[in-house]
A and B are shown apart, each in its own frame.
Chain A
Amino acid sequence: MANGETEYYNESDLIRRAQAEDTEAFCELAKRYARRIYLLAFHYCRNSQDAEDLSQEVWLKAYQSLDGFRSEASFYTWLRRITINTFLNHQRSRSFLKQGQTTMVQLLAIDASATNIASQVASEKTLFNKVLFENVMNALAELTPSQRLIFLLRHYEGMSYEEVANAMNCSIGTAKKSVWRAIAKLRTRLDVADDAPDKGLAELATEY
């Protein structure tokens, strides 16, 4: 089914059709959110193959439990809930989380130079971006899977601490601590030096 054909359907129509076991409609829903789910899975398990398996498992579970979707929350919120539960179940059972850190070279080899970083920036910046990417990934790898997931939910998904705590079944304090830890690790790894510190203060004054 071409993209243009399904553009006419809004999300509610697609959900209704998918609930009536219309696989095409569900695939269209999957196309809309597949990247977000995949990236979340990728940063969570730090392996593209596991990320693919995990994200597809999420879609499969969503398809099987679509009858339970009551439109009380948005479809993505419901889907994200399934995603987090699937991740947490995998955390208990799978071994991919025990693997060593995924280096930039491994990632690029697996994804066949798939990252936008490598393709979109000029050549003189490529090395810097590769190092930056590797440092970010390594800093995230130093966190526990739960801490990493909490950081991703907070700073990639934009969830509030309360939502994160509910989703992860932990306290708000634990969620905050995980994010602080992640920021501290990133700060140490990236070692960013700002030449114009006063600018940051001015930004702070205007932001709040």
Chain B
Amino acid sequence: MHSCKTTRDLMTELLSDGTSPPTHELLIELRCCRECRQEFAALKDTLRLATGVIESVAPPEEYWADYHQALKQKLLNSRVPVVKMPQPSWVMRMFQTSVRVPVPVGLALVLLFGVSLFFATRAATPKQPEAPLTVRVPVEVPVPQEKIVTRIVYRDRYRPAVSRKSTQNNEQSTLARSQKNEAIPSSLVGFKPLEEIKLTVIKGGTGNDK
């Protein structure tokens, strides 16, 4: 679909660019539309005329004599007389000399200076009196171990039966006695049982025959 506006934009682009060749699309549009061809020719003429007018504007020859005279005078006036300064001593030159340092290097130097200044000030501060030295040494404390004593109690088998109460009292007194004995370190060395029980197992007998 032909569009004169689009073609006009393409023409303007072509003329303003001046270097790139016309697009295939533009050539087809120009061939098929007479109005676009006229517009293209008119644009080319416009540009040619305008450039011609711009280049044709020029002052007359006599103008340039005054122009160059004025320019020469300005150039001569612009010369600044050179005043010789006394040569500075090497000490002054040393202080006045500037060295161009790249920014990263400069930053690194400033950082280094800051860190060294920090450590220098830290080292210069007076030392605080030292606190008494505390040495921790592990010490083994002997813990008395519980002694297990095994006691053999022989009971008279044929002792008459006593009441439950008296038996309990007897047991309690025995326990109290044993606890009392535990308090005193005791030994079974030299202990000799008073009675010996002889058990005879008769085969085929009843439980009452023991």
Contact = CB atoms under 8 A, between A and B. Distances in A.
Interface string B5-49: 000000011011111011000010011001001101111111101
Interface string A96-114: 0000000000010001101
A190 B49 contact: yes
A75 interface: no
B74 A56 contact: yes
A160 B49 CA distance: 20
B37 A43 contact: no
A34 B37 CA distance: 40
A91 B3 CA distance: 40
A26 interface: yes
Interface stretch (B56-64, B124-132, B163-171, B191-199): B56-64
A79 B59 CA distance: 21
B76 interface: yes
B16 A179 contact: yes
Contact of B13 (A60, A111, A180): A180
B55 interface: yes
Q: How large is the interface on A (under 10, 10 to 19, 20 to 34, 35 or more residues)?
A: 35 or more
A111 B63 CA distance: 9
A59 B44 CA distance: 35
A23 B46 contact: no
A43 B54 contact: yes
B53 A208 contact: no
A139 B59 contact: no
Contacts of A203: 44
B119 interface: no
B34 A197 contact: yes
Contact of A155 (B30, B41, B44, B47): B47
A204 interface: yes
A148 B44 CA distance: 19
A27 B18 CA distance: 35
A193 interface: yes
A183 to B, nearest CB: 6
Interface in A168-208: 176, 179-180, 183-184, 186-187, 190, 192-194, 196-201, 203-205, 208
Nearest to A176: B16
Interface residues of B, number: 46
B21 to A, nearest CB: 4
Given A197-B38, A204-B22, A34 B67 contact: yes
B78 interface: yes
A82 interface: no
Contacts of A161: 17
Nearest to A193: B42
A139 B50 CA distance: 10
A105 B30 CA distance: 40
A59 B59 contact: no
A52 interface: yes
A115 B52 CA distance: 12
A114 B61 CA distance: 9
Nearest to B14: A204
A42 interface: yes
B122 interface: no
Given A42-B57, A63-B75, A201-B41, 16 more contacts: A31-B64, A35-B58, A115-B56, A117-B53, A136-B49, A137-B53, A154-B18, A161-B17, A179-B16, A186-B50, A187-B46, A192-B46, A199-B41, A200-B37, A200-B41, A205-B27
Nearest 5 A/B pairs, CB to CB: A200-B41, A194-B41, A197-B37, A208-B21, A197-B38
